[in-house]
Each structure stands twice: as C-alpha cells, then as structure tokens.
C-alpha cells in the first residue's frame, strides 16, 4: 500500500483494465476508469460504481480527452486485443495504439503524471529468438492482418520513449504475454474463451493448424501484481510480464478438456496468417527489477477460477 493517488485507467472496462481498476482501489487510490466500450464491457466494472473512489468516463482516447483535476498515474490499457478484433477493427486498433497513445501521453505530460503503457509480446512478432527477452527487436510482418496491432504497439513504445527522453515524462512499458482469467470476452476468438466455451457446451475444440504452436499462459492476478510493482518501480525500459510455463495449443486444449470433464474432440481449422509458432517470455528482468516477482497461480487453479466465471456467463447469456 502506498499513499493515495489519483489513477486513470484507459480501457478500464476491458478484461485486464477492470482487474487493474480493482487493484488500484485496493491500493487505496482514487480511480478514473475510461472506456469507449468498443470491446470493453460495463458489466466488468458495474460492481465498482458504488465505490466512492471510483468514477467512469465513457470516452474515446483517440479524441481529445479531458480529466479535471490532478492525475498521478495513468495506466494506458485501451485497445482491442485479440486477433479476431484486429481483423474486424483494424483501423480502430491502429488509431488507439498510435493516436490514442499520443493523446494519453499528452495528458500525462500536462498533468505531470506517471504513464504506464500496456505493450505486448506481439512486438516480437513470429520470434526468431526463443524465449523472448526484452533486448530482442522482433520479427513482425507490418502488412499482414496482425500488422495493425503489432505496429501500433511498436509505435506506442517509440512514442512513450520519445515522451520520456524529450519531455521528461515518467514512463513505464510492460510487454504482456498471453493472459487469461475471469472477464475475458466469451466470443473474442482467443484460444481460452474459444476452448472453454466449446468444452462447456460439448462442442468440438477448434485447433488452428496442427496445434503444435506454443504459448505460455499467465493468470490475470499474477499479471496485475507484476504491473503494479512495475508502476511503483523506476524501470523505464520495457519489461516482460508473463508466465514462462510453455505448452502446445493441443496440450492447452487437453488441460481444458480434463478440467471440464468434457467429451469434446479436436477439430483442425486453418492456421491464421502470421500466427507465431512459439511464444515464451524470459522473465529474468522482471524477477530482478520487481522485487522477486514471479507468477504464483498454477494453470489448473487459474483454469478452475476462469471456468467458474465462464459457467456463470454462459448461463446468464443463454
Ligand atoms: N487458437 C486455436 N483455436 C482457437 C483460437 C486460437 O487453436 O479457437 C490458437 C491460435 O492459432 C494461436 C493460439 O491458439 O496459435 C493462441 O491464440 P490467441 O488468439 O489466444 O492469441 P495469440 O497468442 O495468437 O495472440
């Protein structure tokens, strides 16, 4: 717990943003949640509305943003964040990563606030270095379907460093690897919501390609702990936060089938263009600069908590 600050969370009604709003309230801070609700969902923060230190602004960060009074911290998490979203919302994805980041950095400068950028392992593209450490510059296809997200986030990192170097804004950059947990959108097309809802509904699990591609899944609470420590730290250069426990997508599907007790089978679908073949964070730096931070929630436990959420959501959505 640190002294009370006023924190703006852009994308605060999204999956990770809403968990951060909660965490910042727990830290004793005043929280301004901003979201245009394009991919965010008010249901993620509904329970916070009664909190006296919470307020919600329905605003698009690619337009002029105004927040009255002081601001101490800005957590910039506004962005579509799944491959299906990039396909459906390529222009908005580019705009929020580029124009939105520029606007929010301008706000940070005007308010003399510390700014933390949600960047992504996507900046490494289809990586030629494995596992990925922060010094790797990446292997990104700028003109492929994921280019709108990858390049916008790379621009966002460059813009953040320019505001740090040129304007002296206090900046932090987290590179987030695959994260899962309650409040993921059921239909966002990412592998966990897809497999979990398919397994719970008794449908076949759609494996893209032969399922031998790998990912490393981090439970949202571990990510939020890492981000909070990074915010309070003085580390300016990008820091990977994720869980290095790597597995194939087929193994991930098997873990979900076992947990749900589902009889569903795998059905292969075409591999999306530029789908990274491997992904695993090197978290040596995070361990070093974030006071020994490392992921604590085992896959089984994280999947159980996530399944409880999905069961509820499927029941209420019908
Ligand atoms: N994937 C899959 N079936 C699905 C959704 C995704 O096999 O229904 C695969 C996808 O091709 C990728 C991995 O799961 O290799 C993770 O995909 P996701 O969209 O969750 O995130 P990414 O890590 O690609 O950004």
For ligand 1, atom 1, name the residue with the nearest CA: 191
pTM: 0.97
Q: CA torsion, points 60, 172, 292, 277, in degrees to nearest 10?
A: 70
Q: What is the pLDDT of residue 317?
A: 83
Quote the ligand 1 centre to 130 CA distance (angstroms): 18
Q: Report the separation in Å between the CA atom of 191 and the middle of ligand 1, taken as the mean of its atom positions.
A: 4
Name the superfamily (CATH) of residues 6-180+220-243+281-296. NAD(P)-binding Rossmann-like Domain (3.40.50.720)
Give the pLDDT of residue 318: 65
pLDDT higher than 80, residue 304: yes
- Indicate which residue's Cα is closest to atom 11 of ligand 1: 208
Q: What pLDDT digit, counting tens, does each position of 77-132 carry?
A: 999 999 999 999 999 999 999 999 999 999 999 999 999 999 999 999 999 999 99
Per-residue pLDDT tens over the stretch 188-218: 999 999 999 999 999 999 999 999 999 999 9
Mutation choice for ligand 1 from 15, 39, 83, CB with most ligand atoms inside 8 A: 83
Report residue 60's pLDDT band, with 50, 70 and 90 as the boundaries: very high
- The confidence band for 3, taking pLDDT boundaries of 50, 70 and 90, is confident
Positions marked catalytic: 149
Q: What is the mean pLDDT of the chain?
A: 97
Residue 255 alpha carbon to ligand 1 centre in Å: 15
Residue nearest ligand 1's atom 14 by CA: 191
């Amino acid at each position: 717990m640190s002294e009370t600050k006023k924190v703006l969370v852009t994308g605060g009604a999204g999956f990770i943003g809403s968990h951060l709003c909660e965490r910042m309230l727990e830290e004793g801070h005043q929280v301004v949640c901003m979201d245009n609700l394009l991919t965010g969902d008010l249901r993620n923060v509904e329970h916070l509305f009664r909190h006296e230190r919470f307020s919600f602004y329905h605003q698009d960060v690619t337009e002029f943003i105004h927040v009255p009074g002081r601001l101490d911290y800005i957590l910039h998490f506004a962005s579509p964040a799944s491959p299906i979203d990039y396909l459906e919302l390529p222009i908005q994805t580019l705009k929020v990563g580029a124009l939105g980041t520029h606007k929010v950095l301008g706000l940070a400068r005007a308010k003399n606030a510390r700014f933390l950028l949600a960047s992504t392992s996507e900046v490494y593209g289809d990586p030629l270095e494995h596992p990925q450490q922060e010094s790797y510059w990446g292997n990104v296809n700028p003109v492929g379907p994921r280019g709108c997200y990858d390049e916008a986030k790379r621009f966002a990192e460059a813009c953040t460093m320019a505001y740090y170097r040129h304007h002296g804004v206090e900046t932090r950059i987290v590179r987030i690897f695959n994260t899962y947990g309650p409040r993921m959108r059921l239909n966002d097309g990412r592998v966990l919501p897809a497999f979990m809802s398919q397994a719970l509904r008794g449908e076949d699990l759609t494996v893209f390609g032969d399922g031998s591609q790998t990912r490393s899944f981090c439970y949202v609470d571990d990510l939020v702990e890492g981000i909070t420590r990074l915010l309070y730290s003085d580390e300016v250069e990008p820091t990977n936060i994720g869980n290095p426990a790597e597995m194939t997508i087929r193994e991930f599907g098997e873990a979900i089938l076992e947990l749900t007790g589902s009889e569903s089978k795998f059905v292969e679908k075409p591999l999306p263009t530029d789908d990274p073949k491997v992904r695993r964070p090197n978290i040596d730096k995070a361990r070093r600069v974030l006071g020994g931070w490392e992921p604590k929630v085992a896959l089984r436990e994280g999947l159980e908590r996530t399944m409880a959420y999905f069961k509820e959501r499927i029941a209420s959505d019908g």
